Chains A and B, each alone.
Chain A
Amino acid sequence: MEINKAASKTRDFKLKGLNILSALKGKLAFDFRTVLPVTSVLIAIITDVFIPNHKNLKHPELMHYRYFLYISLFAAVLFTVLSLFIKKIRDRYGYRGYFLTGVYIFLTFLNIITAKLLLLPQIYFPSIARIFEVFFDDTKLLLTCIGSSFMLLVKGIFIGFCLGMICGIAIGWSKRCNYWIFPIIRILGPIPSSTWTPLALVIFPNAKSAAVFLIAFGVWFQITVLTCSGIKSVNKAYFEVASTLGARDRHNLFKIALPAAAPTIFMGFFNATCSSFVALMAAEMIGCKSGLGWYVNWQKQMLAYANVYAGLIIIAVFCYVLVTLQFRIRDKLLSWQEGIVKW
């Protein structure tokens, strides 16, 4: 009896201990993938610090890349620690672990073949530090360029979107408009908008408005085509049901056709945004005196390739942000089609 009691006591104790452990275990967890980025950043730092720069490297004094790595290390360690405690961070950061690791390995590789070994002509392939330096040196100009490009893009997309919606609805909804406008779109639409450059430069008073036209043109075509096809392919039964519920023509258009076509219209908007980047870059290279496209082109002519790369990085981030923003809006507006359409 006595022994039994004692045994049960120890078992209780053990159980309690286990409970605490498992409670902690529920809170605290370790995912090895969260350590990988830290390791790779460390490797990058070690490479940068201990391998000497090539003796012919220009501007070996620039430390931007190293500071960037230090900040990266701090962030990586912070996330690794946080992910011990917070499940959400652990899952997301862990999931991205391999990718981030890859990024820093790639940077290290770049660092080695440029600054350390100078395997490539440095005028075309400057060191990472020099590219990063541009962000600090040229901040003001770059910001103006971002602002200018953004304004061009917004104006172009807005005008193109509005006109595209009007044309798309007209063609999709009315047989007569379809008869008159559709052939014109068939002929004009597929012409790449940059081809219009010579004409645009003549018609419009300045390069900026010509650029807006070129962007708007591409957007207009995409939106028109997809709005029209979206409206035409709406399930006829929706219109039948709606009209037996008392809907009139305008209800059928605004309450049935447009919402039903919204996913297709959004697809058109996405395509249009992507093609508008192309049009923007083309437009800015023809005569504008600011903008990201102009910046890259101008720096190329100056043989300032570090600035070219910096410009390209900014363009990439710029487009990425705009596209992401658009996806967010789509998810909000079209949440009803979750589980119906996959992108």
Chain B
Amino acid sequence: MVEAAYKSTGAISVRNVRKEFTDTKGERVVALDNVNVDIYPGEFICLIGPSGCGKSTFLRLIAGLITPTEGEIFLDGEKITKPGHERGLVFQDPTLFPWLNIYDNIAFGLKVRHIYKERKKEVREFIRLVKLEGFEKALPHQLSGGMQQRVGLARALVNNPKVLLLDEPFGALDAFTRMNMQDELLRIWKERGTTMIMVTHDVDEAVYLSDRIFVMTPRPAKIETIIPVDIGRNKKYGRKRDSADFLNLRSKILRVLNFTGKEIQPEYNI
């Protein structure tokens, strides 16, 4: 199941996690309930489900941006209490720092950690990896959406995180760019062996990319099932999109989502 165990680190354990929020009326809302799950080092996980099922909450809990109301989350046995560079985060909106050029955006993590001098070379390396040579001096707003997202990826990856958290990173891209980015992400994943946890609305994307798919449902917000993707990867490390296995798995997931009795609301942003 774990195909890319290049690293022995990057394991996430989630134990009895419950997260409540207080809404504007002052009432408690359960965003995530009773989550118990293990993610192995170097694994590619997709979280899928309709809106309001706690996907992003789950991701933000792992990132340490919010803390669970109950339960604990561990990274390689160490409890997560606050954000850290070993858990990189990429949003749907690339949120590049508009006042820094592409190079400085990517170098940001190394600079604030005071390891820029030693690892300067890696900035160039990642610029090459995401195919943005020649754009080092450009400002974020001068780049297309796909390029900005690649900068966002490189900026998170240059820190060499154990876990990369992706919150619908390709949601705002057109179908063609999205497919390219998926392949690029897989290439980087294979190369670096980073544990990937990705939130998506797109069943196809989940089947194409992941080792396991966590299907989540709202009310109560929880992980409904975990579906292993037992389809061989092609030479781009993805799956053949029109194979029978792919389509079967796809309809299986759609059935799981429907099984809960909730309408599936497609949220493609194409």
**Chain A residues with a Cβ under 8 A of chain B:** 235, 237-238, 240-248, 251, 255-256, 259-260, 262, 334, 336-337, 339-340
The count of A-to-B residue pairs whose CB atoms sit within 8 angstroms is 70
Report the separation of the CA atoms of residues A238 and B139 in the bound assembly, to the nearest whole angstrom: 16
Which of B39-47, B88-96, B262-270 makes up part of the contact surface?
A: B88-96
Sorted nearest first, the 9 A-B pairs with minimum C-beta distance are: A246-B85, A245-B109, A243-B83, A244-B89, A259-B99, A246-B113, A247-B112, A251-B112, A237-B95
The answer to whether residues A336 and B98 also contact, given A237-B93, A245-B156, A246-B109 and a CB cut-off of 8 A, is: yes
Interface size on B, residues (CB 8 A): 28
Q: Return chain A residues, CB-CB under 8 Å to B97.
A: 238, 256, 259-260
Report the separation of the CA atoms of residues A244 and B159 in the bound assembly, to the nearest whole angstrom: 10
Report the separation of the CA atoms of residues A248 and B141 in the bound assembly, to the nearest whole angstrom: 26
User: B84 contacts A242, CB within 8 Å?
Assistant: no
Further pairs besides A243-B83, A246-B112: 14, Cβ < 8 Å:
A237-B91, A244-B156, A246-B113, A246-B159, A247-B108, A247-B109, A259-B100, A260-B97, A260-B98, A262-B99, A334-B99, A336-B99, A337-B99, A340-B98
The answer to whether residues A260 and B99 also contact, given A245-B155, A246-B159 and a CB cut-off of 8 A, is: yes
Nearest-CB residue, chain B, relative to A237 = B95
Nearest-CB residue, chain B, relative to A256 = B97
Report the separation of the CA atoms of residues A336 and B95 in the bound assembly, to the nearest whole angstrom: 15
Q: Return chain A residues, CB-CB under 8 Å to B109.
A: 245-247
Q: Is B153 among interface residues, defined by CB-CB distance under 8 A?
A: no
Q: Is B65 among interface residues, defined by CB-CB distance under 8 A?
A: yes
Report the separation of the CA atoms of residues A278 and B99 in the bound assembly, to the nearest whole angstrom: 33
Q: How far is the CB of A84 from chain B (nearest CB, A)?
A: 37
Q: Is B18 among interface residues, defined by CB-CB distance under 8 A?
A: no
Q: Return chain A residues, CB-CB under 8 Å to B14.
A: none
User: B88 contacts A337, CB within 8 Å?
Assistant: no
Q: Is the interface of B mostly helix, strand, loop or mixed?
A: loop
A-B contact pairs, 23 of them (CB 8 A): A237-B91, A240-B65, A240-B83, A241-B91, A241-B95, A242-B108, A243-B82, A244-B64, A244-B83, A244-B85, A244-B87, A244-B88, A244-B89, A245-B108, A245-B109, A245-B112, A245-B159, A246-B113, A248-B112, A255-B112, A259-B97, A260-B98, A336-B99
Enumerate B208-225 residues with CB–CB distance to A below 8 Å: none
Q: Return chain B residues, CB-CB under 8 Å to A245.
A: 85, 88, 108-109, 112, 155-156, 159
Nearest-CB residue, chain B, relative to A333 = B99
Residue among B82, B87, B139 with the highest chain A CB neighbour number at 10 A: B139
Enumerate B146-163 residues with CB–CB distance to A below 8 Å: 155-156, 159
Q: Is B203 among interface residues, defined by CB-CB distance under 8 A?
A: no
Q: Return chain B residues, CB-CB under 8 Å to A244.
A: 63-65, 83-85, 87-89, 156, 165
Q: Return chain B residues, CB-CB under 8 Å to A242.
A: 108, 112
Q: How far is the CB of B202 from chain A (nearest CB, A)?
A: 22
Q: Return chain A residues, CB-CB under 8 Å to B99.
A: 259-260, 262, 334, 336-337
User: B89 contacts A235, CB within 8 Å?
Assistant: no
Report the separation of the CA atoms of residues A247 and B139 in the bound assembly, to the nearest whole angstrom: 21
User: B141 contacts A339, CB within 8 Å?
Assistant: yes
Nearest-CB residue, chain A, relative to B93 = A237
Report the separation of the CA atoms of residues A243 and B84 in the bound assembly, to the nearest whole angstrom: 6
User: B139 contacts A336, CB within 8 Å?
Assistant: yes
Nearest-CB residue, chain A, relative to B155 = A245
Nearest-CB residue, chain A, relative to B95 = A237
Report the separation of the CA atoms of residues A243 and B88 in the bound assembly, to the nearest whole angstrom: 9
Report the separation of the CA atoms of residues A99 and B219 in the bound assembly, to the nearest whole angstrom: 68
Report the separation of the CA atoms of residues A255 and B97 in the bound assembly, to the nearest whole angstrom: 10
Q: Return chain B residues, CB-CB under 8 Å to A238.
A: 95, 97
Residue among A238, A245, A256 with the highest chain B CB neighbour number at 10 A: A245
Q: Return chain A residues, CB-CB under 8 Å to B82.
A: 243
Enumerate B105-160 residues with CB–CB distance to A below 8 Å: 108-109, 112-113, 139, 141, 155-156, 159
Enumerate B44-88 residues with CB–CB distance to A below 8 Å: 63-65, 82-85, 87-88
Report the separation of the CA atoms of residues A337 and B98 in the bound assembly, to the nearest whole angstrom: 7
